[in-house]
Every structure is written in C-alpha cells, then in structure tokens.
Chain A
Amino acid sequence: MLLIPCPLCGKRSESEFIHGGPVGADRPDPNAVSDAEWVDYLTVAPNPLGPVQEKWWHARGCGEWLTIWRDTRTHDIVEAPDGIK
C-alpha cells in the first residue's frame, strides 16, 4: 500500500485514494485530428518501465485530484506532486 503525498493533506495511505490512470496526451480537438490520431488518444496510455506520471483522487480525504511520478519497477515516488497543470 503506497504512501501518497497529497498537496493539501500530506502523506496519506493509498486506501484513501482512487487511481485515475496515467497522465496521457492532452485531449486533441476532435475535429482537427485523423481517425487514427483520435483512436490513439483514446487507447494508447503511457505504460513505461520506470517513472510514470499518474493521477490519483483523494476521494476519502480532501477530494483533490493530484499527480505523482511513480516508478513502476519499485513503487518509489520520484517527484513531489503538483496540483495537475
């Protein structure tokens, strides 16, 4: 069970959070991209062996959506979170 740093609450147990998936590409203008590009946006998510930026929702805490960089090999949180964007 990870210990996730929430920018508002400090380090809290993973059980307070809901995983929101990796941070992918920004949503493109759907009227300005090809079919293939749109499908890629929907279906291709970052899945590196190593640090990945991912979203977590502090659902059972303050309600903040935050991001962390988590190393998928070690679970180490390699960078302090910022509020998204």
Chain B
Amino acid sequence: MGSSSRLASGGRINRDRPLRFRFNGKDYQGFEGDTLASALLANGVRVTARSFKYHRPRGIVGHGPEEPATLVELEGEDASGNRPATTVVLCEGLRAHSVNCWPSPDFDLGGISQLFARFIPAGFYYKTFKWPGWHLFEPSIRKAAGLAAAPATPPASGHFEARHAHADVLVAGAGPAGLKAALEAGRAGKRVFLADEGTEAGGSLLNRALTISARPAMDWVAEAVAELHGMKNVTHLQNATVWAYREHNLLIVNERSPEQDNILERSWRVRAGEVVIATGATERAMVFSGNDRPGVMLAASVQAYVNRWGVAPGKRVALFTNNNSAYAVAADLAAAGVIVTAILDSRKNVPPEALELVPDLPVHTATVAAGIFGHKRVRAVLAAPVSGGTPKWIRCDVLAHSGGWNPTVHLWSQSRSSLRYDEGIAAFLPDRAAQTCRAVGAAAGDLTLDRIVDGGADLPYAIEPLWRVDVPVQRGRAFLDIQNDVSVSDAQLALREGYSNVEHVKRYTTGGMGIDQGKTGNINIIGTVAMQQGVPLPQVGTTTFRAPYTPVSFGAIGGLREDSVLFPYRHTPVTQWNKDNGAVMYEAGARWRRPGYFPNPGENLQEAVNRECRAVREGVGVYDGSPLGTFELKGRDVPKFLDFIYSNVMSSLQPGDGRYGLMLSDDGLILDDGVAFRLDDHRWMISTSTGHADAVNQHMEKLLQTEFPGWQVMITTVTSQWNNATICGPRAREVMQALGTDIDLSPQAFPFMSLRDGTVAGFPARVVRVSFTGELSYEVNVAPRNMAALWDKVMEAGAPFGILPVGSESSHVLRVEKGFLSLGHEVDGTVDAYDLGMGWAMSKKKPDYLGKRSVMLRRAGGATRRELVGILPKDPDQQIPEGAPLTPGGHKQATEGLVTACVWSVVNRRWVGLALLENGQARHGETAHVRLRDAVIPVTVTEPVFHDPDGTRLRS
C-alpha cells in the first residue's frame, strides 16, 4: 500500500476493493468509497494545485463542494474540467491532473509570478491593459491565469438526459434535518422528492462521531433511509445536487451517475408544492497570514477525513478556532491516535463543556495563528496572543482551522427569500420566505444535532466572530478567497479606491467569484469590509446568491436538446427523391430541408443553377413548394379581417380568384408578403413565406383573440395538409396536359391569379396559378399521401419537354431577374411598400388597416428614403457581393444604400442585381458606385426588373 496516512481501521471505505488511479502522471491506489481528495491525502500527496493568479502551491482544504483550492481536470473518454478534487468519486482507472500548473504543482514554472505578486494588486489587469482595448490582451491573460480547458469532444460513454417531476414536498439535503422532514412528509402520504449531493445519505453525520439515543447516529440514518425506500410516494436520489431555485417553486436537480450505465447525468426539473431546505452549514475559513499553505485545512474537513475515509491528513495537527466545533474535531483526532499539538482559540473565555471534551490537550486561549512556517507543507504555526504578548512557533504538519459556520442559504436566497444576521451564531440566517419554502436544521441555524433529532447528543455551539487576524506580528498574505487569490490587502485596496459596496468589492477583487463561489470565504470579505468601514456587519449585507449552487456541466443543462433533437428538420415527401437525384440539401427557413441545386456529375454550383434557370425560362422546370406557409381561414368576417391585415383590398375578390398582398405590422413595417385566394363565400386560403409562417399565425391569432374576439374567423394551419409541385416555364401548360386534368387550362378559363379544384394525373388536386419565377406556372396541390406519386408523374410527363427539378438557388436567380421581393433581402425592417415601388398595394380606399397610419406618418417627415432599384455592373462579368455598400461616387463616406442581391442572369447573360439606394426611383440611368475594401464597382441604376417587364409571360 505505502499509504502512510491511512488509518489502520475505520472509515466508510471498502478496504476489500482497492482502486488504482493516476494523478499528475503518477500512479496511486485508493479504496472504493474514497474521493480523489481523500485518496490523495491517504497517499501523502500534499501539494495538489497551484493558485489561480500567483501560482502559489496549494493543498486540499475542504472535503466537499466548498473546496476552494484543488481543482482537477479529468482525462479520458469523459473528460471534464475544473472539478473540485473533493467531489470526484474515485473509480478504477481514474486519471486526473491539476489545473493551472505546468509541468506539475510541485515544480510549476508559472510559480515565478508570485515573485511579482506585489505588482499584481486587485484591478491590475483592468488598469494596465486598457489601451487600445482590453479584449486584445484578454485571451493571453486568461490563458496565463487559466483554469481547465473545455473538453475537445463530447463524452464518449453515454448521454445526458432531462426529466420533469412533480412533488408535494421537495427536500434538498439528506442530512439529519432533511431525512427527518422527508420521513414526516412521507408518513403523511405526500409525494416526496429527496435529493442529496453526496454519495450517501447522512450529511454531516457521515463525518462526525455522534450518537442518537446512545447509538451511532449513522444507525439512525440507515433506518430512516430504509423506511423512506419502503414508501412508494418517496423518490430518494443521492449524487443529486439541487442547484437552482427558480420561480413558482421550480427546482433544478443535477443527478450524476444515475443507475443506467448509458446516462452520464440527468437534469431534473421539479415543480414542488413545498420546498424544505435542509442544506446544512458550511464551515468558514480563518483569515491569517499563510492561511493558504498546503496543510492548512478546514477543521471539519480534517474530522471528515479521519472519520469517514480513515485518513489522517497529518501526524501532528494544530487547531485554530473561534468557536466550539473545533473541540469535537480535536477529540476525534485524539481518539484516532493523531497528535494534537495545540488548540489556539481566539476567545478569552472558552465554554467549559468544550474544554471538557479535550481534557488532556494544550488549549491556548486568546491566541491566534499569525503565520505559517513552511512553503509546500506546514511545519509550524505562529501562535500569537491577542493581547500582544510574545508569539511562539508550535510544530505541526496540519493546521486545522474553523472560523465558525454559515448556514447554507444559497437555495433559500435564490428563491428571493430574505436573510437576517444573527448575533448568536454570527451568521446570516433565513428570515422571511418569498415562496412556499422553509429552512430546517443547520440551514436554519440549528447547528447542533440535539436541536434537530430527538435523542441527538452534541456539543453546544458558541462563537465569537473573528473576521480576520489582526495582530502586528503577522507577515505575508492573508487570503480571503483562496481560489481567486484575493487577499485582505486587495479588499482594502478596493475600499480605498472607492468600491464601498460589497457587490463592487466582490467584482473588483473577484473575491467569491471562483468555482467555489466563496463558500468558505465570502463572509470574511463582508467582515473585512465592515471592520474597515467601522459599521456593523448586517449593514454591509451579503452579495447575491445565484444559481448554480455548484458547477453544472453544460451537457446536463442541455440534455438531449441539441440541434436536430430540439428543432427537428421538416421534410416533404419529395426529400428522398431529391437525395436520390443528387440534390445538395439546404435549410430553407423554419427548419425545412429543401434542395439547393441538382448538380450533374462534374458540374459546379453556377453551372447547375444556369442549367436549371434556362429550363424554366426556355422550357419547363418544377419545384416542390410544399414548405410555403398555408392557412385556411373560415367565417363570416374573413373579408373584413383580411382587409385589416393586408395593406390592399382582399374583400372584393370573387371565389376562385386571388391577389398578392403585403402584411404590415401596426408600426408600418412589412411583416410578410403572400397571396390570398377566395375559395367560396366564407372560406379563404392564404400563403405566407416559408420562414414566417409561425410568426404570421401568431400575429393573426393574437389579433383575433385579443383585439377582435367577436369576429367570426377560424384559422387552420394547412401547410402540411397540402403539398405541391409547381410546374413553371413556357411549356408548363403542355406538361399539365400531358399529366391529364379535367381543369380547362386555357388562359381565358383559368387566368393568372386564380384557383381551380379538379383532378391532375388522377389525383384530387387544387391548382393555383401563381408565379414566383415570372413564367407561366401551375402550383398543383395534392394531399401529402399523393405527393411522391404526383412528383414521379410530373417528371415522367415532363421528360419529353426537358423538365428539370429546380432548387432554391435557381429560385433566387429567377425572382431577382423579375425583381420579386425576398424578405430578409430587400425587406429588412426599414423599407415600406413605397420604397419598393409597391405603393399600389397601399389601399387609398380603406380608411384603416394595420400599418397605414404609421407609414403615412413616417413618410410625412420627408426624410430621404432608400428605394429599390436594379443595378447593372458596367462590366457585365463583374459579380458584386450581396450586402455590399453603395457610397456617393464610390468615395469613403457614409453609405447611400446596399446591394441586396446579385445573380448571373441567364436571359441577359450578365450579372444583374437589386439594391436599396437613396432616392433610387428618381435615379434610373445614373451611375452609382459599390464600394468594397479594395475596389469601387460602377453600376448603372435601372428599373428593378430584368425580364419580361410587362408580365406577359406569367399571364400567358
């Protein structure tokens, strides 16, 4: 074994199950039941970390989530960073290394920075690296100061899971108070959710040698757990941290290593009727010179290592305290055969019941620790009388200190419940509850077992607060926050520089902002501020407690809700055909997957797009228009409603006819564009752009339910009830005839912007003559079950005419050639219908519709508007990047517009573009200039249409 620090017996470890592990490149052995911290201590490893800023050597300080010093990065398949070694459960083959040191904590090159420590006071970086910008220096400074790196790959051995639960009572913490509360609620038949962060129930009883009714306290715990497990209405989780308390009693619980092998962590969202906060108390550190040296540990943690893990962190331990709890520690140490060389107590009068526990140990009253001898391990402590007498060195290899106890009020505070300062225990206590919750046990200030469980025997608690040691013999830094290297002098500097509020002191010094969130040290910062300002401590107040209580992995928060699981892709029945035919698939708004283009072997994007566009312009093409948002509106008041939400008049449409329209929001901006068709007197069908379907649905429902609840309009989303193949091109009619239809296709019987029901290729179909390409188009809508078959028949019937499938790249080219709008390109939240040359869509007849007043108001101001124009680069082979700015004369001055689209036009055999340009409608024929970083491109301003300006082709 060679583990000199492991006691011969005792501890809640399984000595029959040795576990091998590796730390900083060296192999060690521990036992089942160990944490990484207890196993390192058992192996005599004292220097386990280097500090954040000064790279000072650090050891293990605590035994749980309060650990401020030793953060490790786990290696291997399930790598994770910045884990306190005290919370890493040892397992076979575990590999870990310390963060923030290189090559090892014993020999750390970064340690030279502590030589410059007096040049790196609080705020040093902010003051020094402010020109030309902090962000230039931040990455390298972060790296130098840094913590662990984020794992490069997701965990390999499992996944994260989320679950929801409801409970009458949620109990946070399975110590004596939590178990008691869970038992009471469980016996009353309530649904109980009991969650505890430790590997086993018991809380502080695991670490102490207490009795309940003259029997070991852990017997009582075992009986309580057994009774709870017999209740069907009780859910009891260990390894489960309640880390957030949200509104309306929602609590978030992170369960680690649940029973299933394939689940790494599980995130519970529990809505509770009542919350019982039984989170215990956290020991706080003493602030004195050298209090960060390896071997300076929290007293209760030393006790825990002895009792729970059978490890003596030192052979000769000295204690330093201001309260009674350390006397029980001393008694347990002595019982385990550890030499206690001294108990330094800052109090003049130590209660006799404390002294009675340690009759044979040397107690120095009114004495403080004023210094530590030893660099990488403690060799002696300087015991200085408070009154100023001669200090003396006392030999020890561990100094165990206790500054008193803080009720763990994190969850209580997160619930917005208030705190009050209690003079009796010199700590902040739960006061008024803001939600349905109560604190019990140590979390409520009942720090001894006799006040929690009947028959519990414990040493009464008494304390005289000591926020920091203040004797003249003291030399060297005294740390308030060990993790972030914040010393007393940093806090004093912050106060001198005017950061008088404790929240400002925290941010300026970063005290309490580490991974441990200052669990052991924050109170001393508050105390230091109070001492410095000469005010009582409650007047300083606490900083705000925020979630998470302990670090939570991003994986646990996200669970399975990543990307395609959270927002599944939407597919049409043609997806498989598209893939089989070599489509490059794009995402086309609202998570729809659509073909971008269909390259032939050896063809690049531009070649494929040109081929597809030529088919539409010269022959025939077909695209799958199913993702377009489609709604059916039914009811007596639909015409009135449509007239209100569209800027033009829809109510005058006759059954079978449709109209293109703009939807505005009431602030006059363009919300969406689309077409509306009247099916019969009371039924209408409207389409929206693919990406805005949900927003338009919300818009319409909100108006109907909140503004016009009396109007008879019912809205049904039918996007997925109708799929369509849109056949477009001069030969589209011939393809329709070849497919076979009972609809009269002549332009007189079935003109542009009308709709006919009938059959196409044997399928019941609704055929709509709209066009987004500028060519003769038939949108053949069928039920989704018939879509794939219809598509096959279209390709078959169209083959003699050279039909090609058309992707969204070509659709973009075709609409730009026609000057048709695209939301997000030409419509960007600043333009109105007049800017787009669509003033005709703004009804003059209707007295009111959404957006009318605002558009008129804005235009009445007479400000220069950016208006839609076409642009032709002087050099026809010159492409212009979309989004490029236009400046007057191409000079380096304020822009007068931007290029919204630029495509290779197959009909014009040149690059053409659309742009928004100041006063553009009056500037047709003029030359404007696109200004790029390294070029100025002259362009001719034109009408925003490059093909069939009269629309004869789309009406044909």
Contact = CB atoms under 8 A, between A and B. Distances in A.
Interface of A: 1-3, 13, 18, 20, 27, 29-31, 35, 38-39, 42, 55, 57, 59, 63-65, 74-75, 83-85
Contact of A29 (B249, B666, B848, B857): B848
B707 A27 contact: yes
A13 B162 CA distance: 15
Contacts of B698: 18, 57, 59
7 contacts: A2-B247, A31-B853, A42-B666, A42-B667, A65-B702, A75-B247, A84-B705
Nearest to A64: B705
A48 B250 CA distance: 25
Nearest to A21: B702
Nearest to B849: A30
A74 B416 contact: yes
Interface in B929-944: none
B247 A1 contact: yes
A55 B666 contact: no
Nearest to B697: A59
B434 A84 contact: no
Contact of B271 (A13, A20, A57): A13
B701 A38 contact: no
Contacts of B667: 42
Contacts of A83: 705, 709
Given A1-B246, A2-B248, A31 B701 contact: no
B847 interface: yes
A75 B271 CA distance: 15
Given A3-B271, A57-B698, A74-B416, A84 B709 contact: yes
Interface in B815-867: 847-848, 852-854, 857
B707 A3 contact: no
Nearest to B706: A84
B419 to A, nearest CB: 17
A74 B853 contact: no
A74 B853 CA distance: 38
Interface string B237-278: 000000000111110000000000000000001010000000
A84 B460 CA distance: 59
A30 B857 CA distance: 11
Given A13-B271, A65-B706, A85-B709, A3 B248 contact: yes
Contact of B857 (A35, A55, A84, A85): A35
B433 to A, nearest CB: 12
Contacts of A75: 247-248
Contacts of A20: 702, 706
A38 B707 CA distance: 17
A31 to B, nearest CB: 6
Contacts of A57: 698, 701-702
A38 to B, nearest CB: 6
B799 to A, nearest CB: 45
A42 B854 contact: yes
A30 B701 CA distance: 22
Contacts of B701: 57, 63, 65
A30 B853 contact: yes
Contacts of A63: 701
A50 to B, nearest CB: 15
B250 A55 contact: no
B434 A39 contact: no
B853 A38 contact: yes
A31 B853 CA distance: 8
B542 to A, nearest CB: 19
B151 to A, nearest CB: 28
A30 B709 contact: no
A22 to B, nearest CB: 12
B713 to A, nearest CB: 14
A55 B271 contact: no
Contacts of A27: 666, 707
Given A38-B857, A74-B416, A30 B702 contact: no
A75 B249 CA distance: 11
Interface in B151-185: none
B250 A1 contact: yes
Interface string B684-709: 00000000000000100110011101
A74 B271 contact: no
A5 to B, nearest CB: 11
Contacts of B248: 1-3, 75
B848 A31 contact: yes
B702 A55 contact: yes
Contacts of A65: 701-702, 705-706
A51 to B, nearest CB: 15
A77 to B, nearest CB: 8
B687 to A, nearest CB: 21
Contacts of A13: 250, 271
A28 to B, nearest CB: 9
A61 B701 CA distance: 14
A55 to B, nearest CB: 6
Give the interface centre of B247, B271, B701, B852 by most chain A CB atoms within 10 Å: B247
A30 B248 CA distance: 41
A65 B697 CA distance: 12
Nearest to B252: A1
Given A1-B250, A13-B250, 15 more contacts: A1-B247, A1-B248, A1-B269, A20-B702, A20-B706, A30-B852, A31-B848, A35-B857, A38-B857, A42-B854, A55-B702, A57-B698, A57-B701, A74-B416, A85-B706
A44 to B, nearest CB: 13
A55 B247 contact: no
Contacts of B857: 35, 38-39
Given A38-B854, A38-B857, A84-B706, A31 B247 contact: no
Contact of A30 (B246, B269, B434, B848): B848
Nearest to B710: A85
B271 to A, nearest CB: 7
Interface string B704-725: 0111010000000000000000
A39 B666 CA distance: 11
A35 B709 CA distance: 28
Contacts of A39: 857
Contact of A3 (B250, B847, B848, B854): B250
A48 B309 CA distance: 56
A63 B706 CA distance: 12
A84 B852 CA distance: 25
A13 B166 CA distance: 12
Contacts of A30: 848, 852-853
Contacts of A31: 847-848, 853
Contacts of B705: 64-65, 83-84
Nearest to A42: B667
A75 B248 CA distance: 8
Contacts of B269: 1
A27 B707 CA distance: 8
A59 B269 CA distance: 21
B170 to A, nearest CB: 14
A59 B702 CA distance: 11
A75 to B, nearest CB: 4
Q: Which 5 A-B pairs have the closest CB atoms?
A: A30-B853, A65-B705, A3-B248, A75-B247, A84-B706
Nearest to B434: A74
Contacts of A2: 247-248
A29 B246 CA distance: 42
A58 B313 CA distance: 58
Nearest to A38: B853
Interface string B291-334: 00000000000000000000000000000000000000000000
Interface in B413-431: 416
Contacts of B250: 1, 3, 13
A74 B433 CA distance: 12
Nearest to B847: A31
